[in-house]
Structure 1
Amino acid sequence: MLLPSSTRLPACRYILVGLGFLGFIFNYCLRVNINVVIKRMTRNCSINATSEEEDLFCWDSKTQIDVSSTFFYGYVVLQIPGGRLAEIIGGKRVIGLSMALTAILTLFIPLAARVGGTVQYPYLLVVIRVLMGVCESATFPGITSMMARWAPSSERSLMTTLIMAGSQVGTIAGFFLSGIMVDNVGWENTFYIQGASTFVWLFLWIILVFDTPDSHPFITDKEKVLIAQGLPATKKISPPVPWISILTSMPFWAILVANFSNNWGFHLLMTELPQYLDEVFPEYMEDATVLGLWTAIPYTCMWISSLVFASLCDLMIRKKWLGVTLSRKFYTVLSQTGPAICLLILLLSVTNEKPQLTLTLALFTTAVTLQGGLYSGWITNPQDIAPNFAGTILGITNACGAVPGFVANQIAASFINDDPQDVFLWRPVWIITCTILVCSSIFYSIFASGEPQPWNDIQQEEFKTIKDEESYDYGTLPNKKEKAVEI
């Protein structure tokens, strides 16, 4: 039952965006904080430990990469089930439960690290990281499913970006704030503080967020109409998934390839950037706060650029300067070929004799900044081509996109483990990344689409207008009239 109009809120979709943004801050903060903190949890085992280092762990660079990257082994597990579950029971429950379990596991990280002492391989900590990946694997498909029911087409890029760009702010917090915390309150308290803080957000998410405009008790009729008019191809109840049609659709494969390649570059930089800076510039990065700062700055720039790109993208679509298809292609290519060019310059310019700190920081910052275009490109694209199955599609593609999270890091480790300070050993890592990003951009440019695909509406060949409005998500609208389906 709707409440009296005086008790309703004028912009419920923006409350969802705000809390979704905060949720993704915690999402990424909890997954990446280990990349900075682990540098202050470990010591050089080839020399005798000082009295201050006796309590630190004796883990080599490969073990440290295992702790960081095994998150992505679990990150594959619930991508597809999580997306489909969000379409059926709602993204609110899926995301809330995912983040609650991730926060609980974060609180157990110090205990898990201590099991086995300071010398043995941290098996329990690795298990904790895998389980955290399992829990968080449902979050992106979950929010994509919610956006397909909340974001009108004229605001889709910006609303999606505002939420998912929380991952950049979370990366900033995970790097920079974790660096400050570990220097001031110790590495154990860093995990305790960040894990416990997540439950404050969870409380607000539970009481203020709802799965659809129809189920929101405080939404106004005006906002319902605005959202409904912008979602003509979205059904109220998710129909059965047309698996064969999806898996034989080239626009779907364009998103999958873009997801894989983007995550290869994004997660490689996210996990390896702290190690690269710490190993190649040890004197400059001696303090954890400085290391956290210079690994956070690129993601601050990416957050800003993602908002600028999204605003421009929606403006171009709204003004019809560019169609949806060309807009998605432009920002996807920008977010992938741009970083590839930066990495190419890095591997051609930097040597062991001249590591060039300023140039290195500038190139890394530019590469990560340009990745901000992904939110206006392929990551919003599932909502364009199949809003009824947006969560499932992002889940499938994200499952493949999670693979680079552990494969790319293991490949990097195989090249650099003998001497991480040797910049020449890093060159194959950057060459492989450049090749993947460029090839993906070409594939996406050819096969991507911004239009709803025929299989989005499995009944569309039977009728061209909506006769039964109960099967479509127009909400409770005054003076309902027959509406045409946007094909």
Structure 2
Amino acid sequence: MEQEDNRPEWGKSVSKVCLLPQRVVLSLMGFFSLICTFTCRVSLSHAITILAISNRTTNSTDDLPEGVCPKEEVTEGGAAYKGLYAWDETQKGIILGSFYFGYIISHLPGGILADLYSAKWVVAFCVGVTGICELLSPIAINLGAYYLIALRVLMGIAQGPIFPGLNGLLSSWVPKKERSTLGTLCFSGSTMGIILSNACSGLLLQYFYWSVMFYVFGALSVIWFIVFVIICTNSPYAHPFIKPTERQYLAETVGNVNKNKPAIPWKPLLISVSMLSLIISQMGHDWGYYVMVTNLPLYMADVIQFSIRSNGLATALPYVAMWIASLVSGVVADWLIRTEKMKLVTERKLFTLLSAFFPGLFMVAASYGGCNKALVVALFTISMLTMGLYYAGQKLSALDVSPSYSSTITAIINGLGSLTGLFAPPIIGLLTPDKNLVQWRIVFWASFLILTLSSIAFWFMGSADVQPYDPMYNKTEKPAENKNK
């Protein structure tokens, strides 16, 4: 019976107005926040395919370059308003890339605000602004490319603090033994957002006027903002609906992370080995992730020669696999930790290594799949499936090493990792001037090496212990020592 008292009692933790514990409600709201922001982020990538006038002069499959597959023969349906704006390839690249200019610069300011003031309001404000930007997108598009670029930069600024803010909320609400399950549930919203954007954008663009897509995604984000502000709080101690048993359980297992928090200890935080390991592994992971997110559709279209319709399905399937794997890996990781079959630090390092080595390996394997479309899609799907383990690995380490300053740490590592979102596309463009299998194989081999080496660095340098600069250091370490005695 004593063992059961130390475990989360889900059935006894529900509030009077909700059947779920409030920490689960918060994690679900984080999940939906990322769905809202990622659908808004990715929607323009789909709209631009019909808004920009195509520069393709022929659909002939004769005289294809060496290493390029025959074009898939399929009759394309679609809207009658294709090609409304004379945006060349350079303009399209600037429009789509402008989001990341804003995204990078707002990470650190947002993380600091979330740590020192209110993670809830940072997340709420940023998702709300994202929704408003999405609603204004049709107006900006009609006004011209410069207005659209400015709006996309603003959306990027709004989205930069969201991951740091969510980490700050999780550090106040989620016990260590539940972080893998609830943390991966929350962060997997980004993957689900990509899936839903790929699936819904095509349908909305096919059956409705193009502006409807922006209004749907924008309105959902604004609705989320209203619900989140009403039902979520910064900590369990301020929540009006939480049941006393859950508040007591969280007080014993999490503590009050927000109470009497001193100024951010910049020097010990920045020079710690654990911080360096997080930066290296984050940048390595993001390189592989952005190669897939940004360039997989291009590879499928330019090299494997999928049709537009098939390309959407082929690029969505790997993310469905990644989303499922992330949820399953979170439950498995918590079980390994709770049953003491694996130490927390070992679990974090192992899942990080697996989520880097196997995705890179199967990327390379896909490049040797030639023009076998089914085989290539299967290999890319396995690649992203194994990348899903990352969410129960390094992605949660900022919560482990510093619960009090997890937002700031996440802001730093996510901001640096996002640089690969700027660097990867032009570097890949230089490596693949002819867009053929041989040139893309070099890209995938390079990604395999970057992913693997960065995860090895995390294996040797990473930590899951609360660091001495964190105010929770003594509060978390000493009780554990007494318990062992």
TM-score band by shorter chain is 0.7 to 0.9
Deviations 1:189-238 (A, max 9, x none): 21122112211111110110111001101112210121122225845232
Select 1:326's aligned residue among 343, 346, 357: 346
Q: CA separation in 2, counterparts of 1:187 and 1:8?
A: 38
Q: Given residue 88 of structure 1, which amino acid in structure 2 is its aligned partner?
A: L
2:84 matched to which residue of 1? 56
SS in 2 for 1:455: coil
Distance 2:236 2:182 in 1: 15
Indicate the residue corresponding to 1:480 in structure 2. none
Matches within 5 A, 1:175-254: 175-232=198-255, 234=257, 236-254=259-277
Structure 2 counterpart of 1:451 = 465
1:313/1:327 contact within 8 Å kept? yes
Q: Matched residues, percent identical?
A: 29
Greater mean deviation of Cα atoms: 125-134 or 206-215: 125-134
Amino acid paired to 1:375? Y
Per-residue CA distance 1:20-76 (angstroms, 9 max, x = gap): 11111111111122223322223332539xx95674334344443333233222111
1:9 CA displacement: 7.0
Q: Give, as a single letter, the amino acid of the residue that structure 1 aligns with 2:328.
A: V
Letter in structure 1 aligned against 2:183: T
Distance of aligned partners of 1:179 and 1:306 in 2 relative to their CA distance in 1, 3 Å threshold: same
Distance 2:386 2:90 in 1: 29
Query: Which deviates more from structure 2 when the two are superposed, residues 181-190 or residues 7-16?
Result: 7-16
Which has more helix, going by share of residues?
2
Deviating above 6 A after TM superposition, structure 1's stretches of 4 or more consecutive aligned residues are 7-10, 463-466, 483-486
Relative to structure 1, the CA distance from residue 239 to residue 209 in structure 2 (aligned partners, 3 Å threshold; closer, same or farther) is: same
Task: Note the 1:313-462 alignment, pairs <5 A.
Answer: 313-347=333-367, 349-350=368-369, 354-416=370-432, 418-420=433-435, 422-457=436-471, 460=474
For 1:435, the aligned partner's letter is L
* Cα distance in 2, alignment partners of residues 45 and 458 from structure 1: 58
Which residue in 2 is equivalent to 1:304? Answer: 324
SS in structure 2 at match of 1:252: helix
Q: TM-score, normalised by structure 1?
A: 0.86
Kept in 2: contact 1:265–1:433 (CA 8 A): yes
Q: Mean alpha-carbon deviation: is it higher for 432-441 or for 58-67? A: 58-67
Contact 1:36 1:179 in 2 (8 A): yes
Alpha-carbon distance, 1:149 to partner: 0.5
| Shift, 1:292, TM fit | 2.4
Aligned equivalent of 1:474: none
* 1:455 aligned partner, one-letter code: Y
Root-mean-square deviation (Å): 2.7
Deviation at 1:458, TM superposition (A): 8.3
Report the CA distance shift for 1:285/1:186 in structure 2 as closer, same or farther (over 3 A): farther
For these two proteins, the number of residue pairs brought into alignment is: 450
- Does the Cα contact within 8 Å between 2:280 and 2:458 map onto a contact in 1? yes
Q: C-alpha deviations, 1:354-396, integer Å up to 9, x for none?
A: 4221122112111111111111111100111111111111111
State how far apart, in whole Å, the 1-side matches of 2:86 and 2:40 are. Answer: 23
One-letter code aligned to 1:161 = T
Contact 1:65/1:410 (<8 A) preserved: no
- CA distance 1:94–1:451, change in 2 (3 Å): same
Distance in structure 2 (CA, Å) of the matches to 1:458 and 1:87: 14
Find the residue that maps to 2:308 and give its secondary structure: coil
Q: Normalising by structure 2, report the TM-score.
A: 0.86
Give the unaligned 5+ runs of structure 1: 117-121, 467-482
Check the 8 A contact 1:8/1:220 in 2, yes or no: no
Q: 2:277–2:462: 8 Å Cα contact kept in structure 1?
A: yes
